[in-house]
Structure 1
């Protein structure tokens, strides 16, 4: 009798474990998500990050059968939204859209409240955006080599604009000067629109700008493209050579968007999110829209995107140090 009682006591934990155990071959991640997902956009509504997040979020909602809520948290060059995401519970119910700008911030701001690599987990790169090396039509240069020749012939005579100090268009101009062994003058603006206006007016000479933002002006003859900034030609303007192939090997500057979650989010949940995001990027009603806007759809693995972020931080940091760029 006593032996039977002891056996029953010993078997109680086993029975309880069996009651709450997940069936064989069905990981706990299959129960995710069971509630809405917050998708933080660290910039204002209506911009490229917002449009991208809404397109991807809508497809994620379809996949999961759960609402994906866009939460715009702008401020501090995108760092407020990133910090909120980094400090959120690592349960997969908060994700954030990261941009190439965030890979520049660590080199310009040593007091960031979060670490892009340590405090956030990569899920997938969504798109890559080339910049078009765009010049005023009066400039007597129709190739990258001819532009570099002009810059060398008249040091600190020609100007290039940017959307702001430390932005990717600034880094692109600095890298071109460094690789071309030429000196020219940087003119920062508060946003790309003002720089575009001054390029059309001939008040600056060159601007690295988006393909979609400059196409209409190029077609009307108010601007001229010379090349694209990425390592590969863009599907949005395949006739344009890359800056590297047109005369400056090693040149590569790319805008990009991707999705992150808080560090320590379970790998099974990261994998679930990755599949949904990749499916969204490659879907026939999302991918072509990105391409039409001048972006190249990507859809990478978490490991690939994590490596991409680390490489971008290192490369951008080197450009900033070599050019002596500071935040102020």
Structure 2
């Protein structure tokens, strides 16, 4: 065996040189394709910052199952609701940036900075966009015991009875919460928000009559509306949805400019390797391209929205500005 004069064999030197070259490749990013080929090697934790059963949860599970099939690893859903989605989102923001802890990010994530002055994380600097999953129209629904069938009748009720209209949502400062407050602003009706840990318990209380109406994703309420246990008063988007073509929009019932919807996207902790982000993005887009997945999303009231991490980043930044404007117009102060 050859020796370099210091007692070290050429084989040892070769190994050291190879290790140095590998470290150099990792530092420059040249080894990322290898990383992409090896990821993932175990199940991926996917945190949904709402209780199980709501619109974001349902949509996430549909896409995660198909994406897991594509990358040959399971997405393990963990519902971690509370604090207006902050608890679940913070857990991901502080997680190891290895691609194995992800967040099903709702619109609330970009809304919260305009509503809360002391957030424990900054989505712009602590999280990175991975893939848009779907957009979610909202529906205003009432229990069958409530004697209203239109938004104008709801407005009249809020102006004539002694108590305000009680409306539920899946959490304080969520899109649904702001949607209800915005209706109160435009209509002049007295409204009172009731926050729940997720859409499902709020829908249950709406059906039973414990609260008057529910602002929720169509994905969360479509089953009850189609089943006849809830009455749909309006959809919140600018145009009617093909899923409930006979239900008018809020705007066409006399509230010009009312156009609100939500979305759900996959995000990861800052520092997650770009190659891992690309693997996850490709898996989500491939899942959305499956006819059965797209059909299921549409059936439950969600629109598939494939795209790149870059397009998602631009969309999130613009949406944050839009919601900050709504919050300011509604006169909602930051906590």
Give the TM-score range, shorter chain: 0.7 to 0.9
Q: Which residue matches 1:303?
A: 310
Report whether the alignment pairs 1:126 with 2:130: no
The two structures have a TM-score, normalised by structure 2, of 0.74
Cα distance in 1 for residues equivalent to 2:280 and 2:289: 14
Q: Which residue matches 1:162?
A: 168
Q: Deviations over 1:141-189 (max 9, x none)?
A: 64x5x458748975987624122542322211222233x3524222424
Q: Which residue matches 1:8?
A: none
Number of aligned residues = 316
Secondary structure of the corresponding residue to residue 110 of structure 1: coil
- Rate the CA distance shift 1:70–1:190 in 2: closer, same or farther, 3 A: closer
Correspondent of 1:267 among 244, 262, 274: 274
Secondary structure of the corresponding residue to residue 255 of structure 1: strand
- Rate the CA distance shift 1:271–1:43 in 2: closer, same or farther, 3 A: same
Cα distance in 2 for residues equivalent to 1:196 and 1:86: 30
Q: Which residue matches 2:5?
A: none
The two structures have a TM-score, normalised by structure 1, of 0.75
Which shows bigger deviation, 190-199 or 29-38?
190-199
Q: Deviations over 1:68-124 (max 9, x none)?
A: 333444443332332232223333333221112323332332222211122111112
Q: Deviations over 1:206-235 (max 9, x none)?
A: 432344555566567765433211244323
Q: Where in structure 2 are the equivalents of 1:67-106 lying within 5 Å? A: 67-106=74-113
Correspondent of 1:243 among 241, 246, 250: 250
Cα distance in 2 for residues equivalent to 1:205 and 1:70: 31
Secondary structure of the corresponding residue to residue 117 of structure 1: helix
Q: Which residue matches 1:31?
A: 37
Contact 1:124 1:305 in 2 (8 A): yes
Q: Where in structure 2 are the equivalents of 1:3-152 lying within 5 Å? A: 16=18, 27-28=33-34, 30-41=36-47, 42-135=49-142, 139=147, 142=150, 144=151, 146-147=152-153, 150=156
Report whether the alignment pairs 1:233 with 2:240: yes
Segments of structure 1 that go 5 or more residues without pairing to the other structure are 1-11
Cα distance in 2 for residues equivalent to 1:117 and 1:133: 31
Contact 1:36 1:69 in 2 (8 A): no
Secondary structure of the corresponding residue to residue 183 of structure 2: helix
- Rate the CA distance shift 1:29–1:239 in 2: closer, same or farther, 3 A: farther
Q: Which residue matches 2:4?
A: none
> RMSD over aligned Cα, in angstroms?
4.1
Secondary structure of the corresponding residue to residue 104 of structure 2: strand
Cα distance in 2 for residues equivalent to 1:246 and 1:99: 28
Cα distance in 2 for residues equivalent to 1:133 and 1:27: 47
Segments of structure 2 that go 5 or more residues without pairing to the other structure are 1-13
Cα distance in 2 for residues equivalent to 1:194 and 1:25: 48
- Rate the CA distance shift 1:236–1:32 in 2: closer, same or farther, 3 A: farther
Correspondent of 2:262 among 246, 249, 255: 255
Q: Deviations over 1:50-80 (max 9, x none)?
A: 4444333332232223343334444433323
Contact 2:281 2:309 in 1 (8 A): yes
